[in-house]
Structure 1
Amino acid sequence: MSAPFPNHPQLQGNYAPLRMEADAPDLIVRGELPPELNGALYRIGPNPQYPPRDRNHHWFAGDGMVHGFLFREGRVDYLNRWVRTPKFETERAAGKAMFGTFGNPMTTDQSVVGQDSGLANTNIVFHAGRLMALEEAHPPFELETGTLASKGYWTFGDRMAGNRMTAHPKMDPETGEMLFFGYSTGGYFTDRMTFNVVGPDGAISRADEFKVPYSAMVHDFLVTRDHVVFPILPLTGSLERAMSGQPPFAWEPDQPGWLGVLRRDAPVDDIKWIEIPPCYVFHPMNAYDAGGKIVADVATYEAAPLFPLADGTPGDPEKATAHMARWEIDPAAGTVSETALDDRVAEFPRFDERRAGLDYRHGWFGGVERRNRGDRGNWTEIVHLDLETGRRAIWSDGEAHHVSEPVFVPRMEDAAEGDGWVLFTVFRAEENRSDLVVLDAMNVDQEPVAVCEVPHRIPHGFHGNWVAA
């Protein structure tokens, strides 16, 4: 018999796990789904199967659950499935949690210390015919499209450098390549990273390893037509801290940040490290080359949210809010300048990914007018930002309706940039259930094109992507 979940803020409300797998064919639709929406939206997030072993549970540490919306002929079916990682199967057999948070050996049951603790809970991408659930401490975990049945880890024919893949690979729309990195490779909290490139056929074409200034949580990176940029920012990792009961990852504002800039056609020995003031970026929007410089639009924090200081004390919440900013990186001069793009509190920035690594105009993100104590980090707005004119448009159903990351879907493959829809889920707190909302991407402040009613709530999650039929 499973024990009750503890009274923990990241296990309550819509952070609480959904304790069932379900199929809901032919969702009720208000409005009309565009017939061009033919494919699937997959979203993923943490969804603990059992109450955690650690008192200091972290939202990031839940088992992965995928939510699929399958579109065809103006109709949409829904299903959700846990990703059946080795950790999931071990705990299902035991009937309880066996692993500590992030696999912490100090809080893991001694019978499974050293076994695989992968979560596969952060992003879900499709490349070269494979649907892969990702998190940043393990290889990708493959699922069947449509059914979401688990297939197991995929390591590109055992040719990838290292045993970890970021949850945020980049797809090059011109070459068809997928580029990704791994951090802390070769063991807990090391100062080593890897850089891999996968061709459109799914085969590894580049696999390198290199040293970084210090061990850090590197959630995402920047890719342009000519460059990659690895951000090493002072959300540091420490095995010594973890073994002494202190936070494994902690914010250390006395450390500088570093951007490692590398031409895509150069060896990793040529990485140029540029020092920047301490800050944190979970998610960039896009980056591109411009006249010898690199332009990068990022959701940047003065201090990393959700993590304590190295001594375990909480950080300053006033600094742990992100806004959209533009970095101009000059590799020749070794400098980085920053300008504000928007004053809205922002996260989960997305764009028309047919322009990935290229100059672009339109972006969308989850927003909120201001952060208020006790709002638990919910996002209540979908914001469209026209980077050419500076015009901002906002959709919101009010403070009791919490949105997920917006995913852009083009009307057709050769449509103009931004011509299409943004798709996202909304948690209706007063009804304790969720909807999938479809907006006209260029007119997000108008009424939704369609609203698809899900008969239960979809817990707050991380990322998703569209896979065309």
Structure 2
Amino acid sequence: MDGDARINPYLTGNFAPVRTEDDFELEVVGEIPAGLRGALYRNGPNPQFEPRDPNHHWFSGDGMIHGFFVGDGKVSYRNRWVRTEKWNLEHAEGRSLFGTFGNPMTTDPEYIGRDTGGAANTNIVWHGGKLLALEEAHAPFAIDPDSLEPVGSVDLGGKVTAHPKFDPDTGEMVFFGYADAMMPLSPMVSYGVADKDGRLTRRETFEAPYSSMVHDFMVTRNHVLFPILPLTGSLERAMGGKPPFAWEPEKPALVGVMRRDEDTTKIRWFSTDACYVFHVMNAWEDGSKVVADVMKYDVAPLFPLADGRRGRQCGAYLVRWTFDLADASDTIREERLDDLAGEFPRYDERFTFEQNRHGWFAGQTTKPGDIRTNTVSHIDLKTGRRGDYIAPVGDGVGEPVFVHRSDDAPEGDGWVLAVAYRAAEDRSELLVFEAQDIAAGPVAVAKVPRRVPYGFHGNWVDGR
């Protein structure tokens, strides 16, 4: 690594990429539950080569899928890069070609403006019989669910961001794309729907009040909600050598609410104090109200101010936002639900569109605002009680993924899976918990003989 790379926090410690693709049978300590059979797929950034940009951002590394295949009490592991066109071009050249977020100022001049399928590095979902790797700014990329080898880009009419929602009534995938135009960092946002077989049935575009990084959104049975929060994008700023994305709290914090059976000209904008939300737990309707539980930051983390100065870091906390569609006020009502800083909220997705009682998230007990979360936490939203598994000092635990025990099991009855990093041994583990007894610790641990870098999102697919 050169001098810049050595001091970049996203290229050191367990953020640093691994350079090998491996297949391991894992040592299991404890007992894998007999009913747990399938695969946990997890996606995250893993640069193939040293980045061109001295200000390389964690969010821009090449996607790498880590697959944990579980059955008959055993666990095997496989990791592969997502071989998008970008990955293939750079692999052939033997070097990085593109700047962070495609920034033309740090992209090889020969490749400026070339759409290469992106990094596919943020989430991985199963829909329409395909395993899809997703990121912010490009089409989904399908991979083989067993070998993790590339299948290819999937055309859904343009960008599909990393957090689609799945309608349990229809099987539809509801999604959006931001900066959705030929011009990067534009205020254009699109809304789309793919049917249960993965066929595009709707796509329309509207102009948001300004260009914002819209990482996640909310969907209920009858409504869709678009957060336009002041983590702003600016091509002009980027071309002037300043950050492509930056925190501008003087801009309004807005959430647009639209009925799913109407078009984007009918969006109603609600407002709140300056804040940022990366992730939503769940959303539902309560009479004339739409309610959403989200992890809210008072200041957008991981990004600088518009002039390039470092921003203030803070933790995210689970809050409940209420939008009263029958009220003349367009102010979002807010209630904090818990006092532990955290990220990556999840729930039993069989209860999508319903008010869920049980939720899980990765918490941070020692340094609120540190993205290296160190707990798996279960919260009972009916009683307010929370149970935590706290990792040893220096270790990290990623997003918890819920797996139901059976199709007809009560809400929250099942297991939670999470990938942990063990700093003292510089390796990782797959942890398996009883979902409602997280504080008791894992019932089984599958040991990976090397580390799995910190990543983003994963999902469970039954029966693989």
Q: Normalized against structure 1, the TM-score is what?
A: 0.95
Take 2:140 and 2:359, find their aligned partners in 1: how far apart are those partners?
27
Distance in 1 (CA, whole Å) between partners of 2:461 and 2:448 is 20
Instruction: Tell me the distance in 1 between the aligned counterparts of 2:38 and 2:454.
Output: 23
Say if 1:6 and 1:51, in contact at 8 Å, map to a contact too: no
The DSSP-based 3-state class of the residue aligned with 2:339 is strand
Structure 1: distance between partners of 2:295 and 2:173:
23
- Aligned equivalent of 2:171: 176
Deviation at 1:447, TM superposition (A): 3.1
Q: In 2, Cα distance between the equivalents of 1:194 and 1:355?
A: 26
Tell me which residue corresponds to 1:368: 364
Kindly tell me: are residues 376 and 9 of structure 1, through their superposed partners in 2, closer, same or farther at Cα, counting changes over 3 Å? farther
Partner of 1:260: 256
Assess if the C-alpha contact under 8 Å between 2:284 and 2:354 holds in 1: yes
The AA in structure 2 aligned to 1:148 is L
| Alignment match, 1:377 | 371
Q: Could you tell me how far 1:340 is from its partner in structure 2?
A: 0.6
Residues 324 and 376 of structure 1: CA distance in aligned 2, closer, same or farther (over 3 Å) = closer
Q: Distance in 2 between matches of 1:248 and 1:399?
A: 35
Question: 3-state SS of the aligned residue for 1:6?
Answer: helix
The answer as to 2:327 corresponding to 1:328 is: no
Q: How does 1:64-143 map to 2 (within 5 A)?
A: 64-117=63-116, 118-143=118-143
Q: Once the two structures are superposed, what CA deviation does each residue of 1:228-282 show, in whole Å capped at 9, x if it has no partner?
A: 1000000000000000100000000101111100111112111111122111000
The match for 1:15 is 15
User: Quick one: percent identity of the two aligned structures?
Assistant: 53
How far has the Cα of 1:428 moved from its partner? Answer: 0.1
1:248 equivalenced with 2:244 (yes/no): yes
Q: Deviations over 1:87-135 (max 9, x none)?
A: 1111111111111111111111112222234010000000010100000
Cα drift, residue 222 of structure 1: 0.4
Amino acid at match of 1:423: L
CA distance in 2, matches of 1:3, 1:142: 34
What is the alpha-carbon distance in structure 2 between the residues aligned to residue 381 and residue 71 of structure 1?
23
Partners of 1:51 and 1:6 lie apart in 2 by: 10
Aligned runs of 1:45-444 on 2, under 5 Å?
45-117=44-116, 118-156=118-156, 160=157, 163-186=158-181, 187-317=183-313, 320-333=314-327, 334-371=330-367, 376-444=370-438
CA contact (8 A) 2:218 2:283 kept: yes
Answer whether contact 1:345 1:370 (CA < 8 A) is retained.
Answer: no
Secondary structure of 1:467's aligned partner: strand
* Deviations, residues 325-348 of structure 1 (Å, cap 9, x unaligned): 111111232231101100001100
SS in 2 for 1:80: strand
Residues in 2 aligned to 1:36 and 1:283: alpha-carbon distance in whole angstroms? 29
The alpha carbon displacement at 1:357 in A equals: 2.0
Which runs of 5 or more structure 1 residues have no equivalent in the other structure?
A: none
Aligned partners of 1:39 and 1:265: how far apart in 2? Answer: 36
Distance 2:123 2:433 in 1: 22
* Cα pair 2:364 2:370 within 8 Å, conserved: no
Q: Residues 347-376 of structure 1: CA distance to partner in whole angstroms, max 9, x if unpaired?
A: 00000011112111000000012426xx95
Task: State the distance in 2 between where 1:164 and 1:264 align.
Answer: 19
- Answer yes or no: is the 8 Å Cα contact 2:391–2:397 preserved in 1: no
Distance 1:241 1:397 in 2: 41
CA displacement at 1:398 relative to structure 2: 1.9
**CA–CA separation in structure 2 for the residues paired with 1:418 and 1:411:** 9
Which amino acid letter does the alignment assign opposite residue 440 of structure 2?
Answer: Q
Cα RMSD (Å)? 1.3
Contact 2:180/2:186 (8 A) holds in 1: yes
Deviations 1:134-189 (A, max 9, x none): 00100001101111001111014xxx3xx211100001112211100000111211
Q: Distance in 1 between matches of 2:338 and 2:205?
A: 36
Q: Which residue type is aligned with residue 50 of structure 1?
A: F
**Counterparts of 1:310 and 1:111, CA distance in 2:** 28
In terms of mean alpha carbon deviation, does 238-247 or 33-42 score higher?
33-42
**Taking structure 2 as the reference length, what is the TM-score of the superposition?**
0.96
State the alpha-carbon separation in 2 of the partners of residues 41 and 143 from structure 1. 14
The alignment of Structure 1 onto Structure 2 pairs a total of residues equal to 458
Q: Structure 2: where are the runs of 5+ without partners?
A: none
Structure 1 residues 303-339: Cα deviation after superposition (integer angstroms, max 9, x where no partner): 100000101111122xx31111111111232231101
Please say if residues 315 and 370 of structure 2, whose CA atoms lie closer than 8 Å, have aligned partners that are also in contact: no
Per the alignment, residue 31 of structure 2 pairs with: 32
Contact kept in structure 2, 1:345 and 1:367, CA below 8 Å: yes
448, 451, 454: which is aligned to 2:448?
454
